[in-house]
A = this chain, B = another copy of it.
Amino acid sequence: MGSVDPIVEALQRRAASDARVIALGGGLPSPRQFPRRALATAFLRTIGDPSALQYGWPEGHARLRAFIAARLAARGADIDADEVVVTSGAQQAIVIATQAIVGPGGRIATDEESYPAALDAFRTLGAIPVAGLDAPSTTAAYVMPAIANPRGRALDRAARGRLIASRRALLEDDAYAELRFDGAPPAPLVTEARGRVFHIGTFSKTLCPGLRVGWLVAPRRYQRRVLRAKRDQDLQSSTLAQAILVEALGLGADGDDAAIARAVESFDARLERLRRFYRRRAERLVRALRRHLPSWRVAMPEGGFSVWVDSDDALDDVTLLRAAVDEGVAFDPGRLFRPSRTPAPLALRLCFSAEPPDRLEEGVRRLARAVARVARAAHGARSATLHP
């Protein structure tokens, strides 16, 4: 959590420490959907096995890798279990992939708005994120084809075609793919360009973030380098978290093909519940926005946790965030999602994932009050300037 912008971070921390503040920012999954009972049962089965508490190999738990490969296979990707590297969340997978393909000064194409923690990681590695997937002189593109963060929409077919046709390395962040409301994620890019795609996924959105378990499937020629990077960075991801996951997925007793097929199916049943749950919340948020902030533009998302809101109001997003937190609601300022970091035109990411429906409605009401307040103040200031 938190932004590298110190002012935004201070506001985020203030908001997070106050339960009265409604969280329309942050991109957090709903705690109601954390599989607490399954994790508890899994933990108690796991703790008897010393290997769950011991060091492990950098590539991760064999059954977990087999499960991840099987889910990708169900979407048409020809991935072997031993090509999957378990990472400490999707973030580490993004970093390892970036290090493998982009040197300092290298340019990475992204959507016009993209995931802030990826943009920040690129910058720290000395790479330059550039808005627009077709941006010239880029050596790689970072993209979330199934469900983009923040817009919550799929990559359109033409843009996808151009990505596949381009010669660049592709970082495919598939974090929200399984949370498409229609339950029909497109085939991952890795199915069409295995030799150039770094495929990235995570259990943070579909199970819970606290386990910190994600994965990376690299082009085969990068496999050795990726494993070396993984070992260098933290030796291995938590063996305990992986062992709990393996048990919770139903693979504790047996990891043969039939067991994995059953686990894949049972995970699908869970995803179906999640999709209904988050779709209801998305609809509620979008309805509330159209009611309370009718001049703002928002599209119903196709999945994920958030929507992107554009506005013609000439307001500063961070000023608005400060006023919003005062009113009791937090959101993510649009500038964080832009490779250029520009605050204009005004835009926001709003998340429907973390709060119950009535709080979503009330959050938007508070946001509308904050907008009115900041607009009045801005108008007052302009009037004062015009008529001194």
Residues in A lying within 8 Å of B, measured CB to CB: 1-2, 4, 13, 26, 28-29, 31, 34, 36, 39-40, 43-44, 47-48, 50, 52-58, 87-89, 91-92, 95, 117, 120-121, 124-125, 204, 208-212, 228-229, 231-241, 243
Contact = CB atoms under 8 A, between A and B. Distances in A.
29 contacts: A1-B55, A1-B57, A1-B58, A1-B236, A31-B53, A34-B50, A34-B53, A34-B54, A36-B48, A36-B53, A39-B47, A40-B47, A43-B43, A43-B44, A53-B209, A54-B209, A55-B204, A55-B209, A56-B210, A91-B232, A91-B235, A92-B233, A95-B232, A117-B231, A121-B232, A124-B229, A208-B240, A210-B240, A212-B234
Contact of A117 (B39, B229, B232, B239): B232
A95 B34 CA distance: 32
Contacts of A241: 238, 240-241
A259 to B, nearest CB: 21
Contacts of A233: 91-92, 95, 121, 233
Identical copies of this chain, number: 2
A129 to B, nearest CB: 13
A238 B235 contact: no
Nearest to A43: B43
B53 A44 contact: no
Contacts of A124: 228-229, 232
Contacts of A234: 87-89, 91-92, 95, 212, 234
Nearest to A122: B232
A200 B125 CA distance: 23
A7 to B, nearest CB: 14
Contacts of A89: 234-235
Contact of A31 (B39, B50, B204, B210): B50
Contacts of A40: 43-44, 47
A92 B237 CA distance: 11
A228 B4 contact: yes
A206 to B, nearest CB: 12
A237 B234 CA distance: 11
Nearest to A208: B53
B55 A28 contact: yes
B28 A54 contact: yes
A243 B319 CA distance: 35
A212 B228 contact: no
Nearest to A35: B53
Given A95-B232, A120-B232, A47 B36 contact: yes
A54 B36 CA distance: 12
Contacts of A125: 232
Nearest to A2: B57
Contact of A2 (B2, B36, B231, B239): B231
Q: Which 4 pairs, one residue from A and one from B, show the smallest C-beta to C-beta distance?
A: A31-B50, A53-B210, A53-B208, A210-B239
Contacts of A28: 54-55
Nearest to A87: B234
Given A117-B231, A124-B229, A228-B124, A55 B26 contact: yes
